Amino acid sequence: WFPSQNKIDKFCQMSTSFDVAQIPALEASVTEQANGSSPYSFVALKSLLKLYTSTASPPSLLPTLLLLSLPVPSDFKTLVHLLPASHSASAEVDLGSALCLGDFTSFWSSASSHAGFCACAGLAGRVRDSVVRRLGTLYDDIDVAAYLKATGLDAVEECEGVEKVEGGKVFFVKEKVEE
């Protein structure tokens, strides 16, 4: 059973959003977000993290929750401040910091051996897509080698934000601005 994103958003706006009985529904939402079947929801992530911080021992989904916020660096920076002190210097925080700072090579090097990251189906693709969007926002094109380092890939794959690969460069799709 997976609740609809609309139901999750409404729940998170209610005063009962920090009721521990709601953890299973929020965990289901996080699973859907991670595998791409549901859109990203900062509100659901924040609510679940807040609930986890009030439990005696947060479950193993905590790393996934943090890693799921990585595609939106400002959200990661916000969520990391909700962590209990015992998690503030964790590998997840290091991964998030590397991604937020644009240190993609370090991020992919560490993420490839991180159990929480590897266990979350679809998460690598979602993070990779966000990296491509960030690169496309900053550049019209970049060298293939730089693209491969930034995305943690061995070869250029078809990606939503890539327009074409030509002459050793990757060209990004540019959004049209209406006047």
- pTM exceeds 0.75 for this model: no
User: What are the tens digits of pLDDT across the range 109-158?
Assistant: 988 888 777 777 778 888 888 899 889 999 999 999 999 999 999 988 77
- Note the pLDDT of residue 162: 92
Instruction: State CA 47 to chain mean position distance.
Output: 16
Q: How far is CA 178 from CA 94, 135, 175, in A?
A: 39, 22, 9
Helices (H) and strands (E) in the chain, counts: 10, 3
- Note the pLDDT of residue 138: 92
- H helix runs in 54-90, sequence order: 61-68, 73-80
- Note the pLDDT of residue 151: 93
- Note the pLDDT of residue 7: 62
pLDDT band at residue 13 using 50, 70 and 90 as cut-offs: low
User: What are the tens digits of pLDDT across the range 85-114?
Assistant: 666 557 777 888 888 888 999 999 988 888
- Note the pLDDT of residue 1: 42
Instruction: For residue 122, give both structure tokens.
Output: 């679809």
Nearest partner of 170 among 131, 137, 139, judged by Cα:
139
- Note the pLDDT of residue 9: 60
- Note the pLDDT of residue 67: 67
Average pLDDT over residues 8-30: 72
